[in-house]
Amino acid sequence: MASAPTQELVPIAVQQARTAQGILPMTVGPIAAADTSLFELGPATLRAHLSYGYLYGDGIPSAPGQNLTTSIQTITPDFLLDLGTHWTAEYTPSWRFYSNRAFSNSVDQSARLAGATSYEDWSFTFAQGYSLTSDPQVETNRQTKQETASTNLGAMWQLNSKLMLELTGAQQLDYVWAAPDSFQWSTLDWLHYQAEPGVDTAIGLGYGYVDVTEGPNMTFEQYYGRIGWHVTNKINLNLQGGLETRQFRAAGMGAMNNVTYDASVQYRPGETTVLSLNANRAVTPSFFNGQITRNTGVGATLQQRFLGKLYLTAGVQHGTSSYIASAPGVVAGRDDTYDSINLRLSTAFFSRGTVAATYQHSRNSSNIAGFGLTSNQYGVELAWRF
């Protein structure tokens, strides 16, 4: 369903470091009273905003082969707490009300904590996230309840002016109602070489273990290369890709090699325009027993300010999903093709408020009956920052 993009949660100290390095956010959008706070007490600053959204859509999946029309009202308060300059926390509950009784009303939850600090030549980061959602999903073609908890640790060691070692560790726990749960632990470590200012190259090695409640567990190794190039103040380029080898811990199942990548280019020709291109390919556990999903996608997004106060975001996405058996005796073979167009027009009012109109057209074609859909969704959103 169409929604506003999630903002990265970054401690103030990290934001200041990025600004000092000339790394500016590639975004264009209305900002309503961004420097206001609900209250301040010592090093703690609390910010809050409240939003209301109304969405009317057809083709919303309620069960395989049943795509229905419904309106959805969403009430979302958001609380952001800065603890000094090194810690930031956010909590966001969302109440969703469906007009069609085929869907269940829900209370979604989202909580995040991010921290960063440094010591001599080392810098450290920590991030903890939690979410509980019950949105309709294309993969299951029904409203699907998911609970996810993620933990990410990072450490960087500046060896000299050109070399840096980056160590990361991650845990992701996914609980899915009426589908297999999966628990993943992984590390991906990089050796960076900065040939010149604004150009960062790196080679990385990764390893991971996936525990699946229904189906074989998996291990994987990753061999990656990466380049980040701050070409000019107007152009940023980020490319990461390589080979992932995945083993399935089940008799008769061999290893599978996958080429994976994540690439993006942002171009800002002026203060009022940002154009972004992205492409990605990844392998993840599926919602179906004994299967994994290989997802490939490409997209483009245009952010444009015009008439001084109107902000347009327009995006197109194209993707494919292939479902592959990870256990003996499992018949997979489902292939989906997904396309979408998103439009969002927003503006600020009374210095603290924002209003937006949204539209999304999406289509999913599948070679398995009951999993195709075509949907048009129209929405209005109001938000007020305290």
- Whether residue 26 is contained in a domain is answered as yes
- Whether residue 3 is contained in a domain is answered as no
Q: What H or E segment, with its residue span, contains residue 18?
A: helix 12-20
Contact residues for 293 (Cβ-Cβ < 8 A; gap 6+):
139, 283, 284, 285, 286, 321, 322, 323, 324
Q: What is the pLDDT of residue 27?
A: 67
Q: How many residues does the chain have?
A: 386
List, for the chain, all residue ranges whose pLDDT scores fall below the cut of 50: 2-5, 33
Q: Hey, what are 255's tokens?
A: 């290893």
Q: What is the pLDDT of residue 33?
A: 47
Provide the residue range defining the domain that includes 149. Answer: 12-385
Q: What is the pLDDT of residue 251?
A: 81
**CATH number (domain holding residue 62):** 2.40.160
Three-state secondary-structure class, residue 104? coil
Q: Hey, what are 237's tokens?
A: 């380029």
Q: Are 316 and 344 in contact (CB under 8 A)?
A: no
- Whether residue 68 is contained in a domain is answered as yes
Q: What is the pLDDT of residue 3?
A: 47
> Looking at the DSSP assignment, which residues form a beta bridge with residue 145?
none
Q: What is the pLDDT of residue 4?
A: 47
Domain count, the chain: 1
Q: What is the pLDDT of residue 361?
A: 98
Cα dihedral 345/348/353/356 (nearest 10):
-10
CB-count burial class (<10 Å; 0-12, 13-18, 19+) for 197: exposed
- Whether residue 297 is contained in a domain is answered as yes
- Whether residue 206 is contained in a domain is answered as yes
- Whether residue 74 is contained in a domain is answered as yes
Q: What is the pLDDT of residue 21?
A: 53
CB-count burial class (<10 Å; 0-12, 13-18, 19+) for 267: middle
Q: What is the pLDDT of residue 250?
A: 83
Q: What is the pLDDT of residue 335?
A: 97
Q: In whole angstroms, give the CA distance from residue 246 to residue 112.
A: 30
Q: What is the pLDDT of residue 22?
A: 53
- Whether residue 361 is contained in a domain is answered as yes
- Whether residue 159 is contained in a domain is answered as yes
pTM metric for this prediction: 0.88
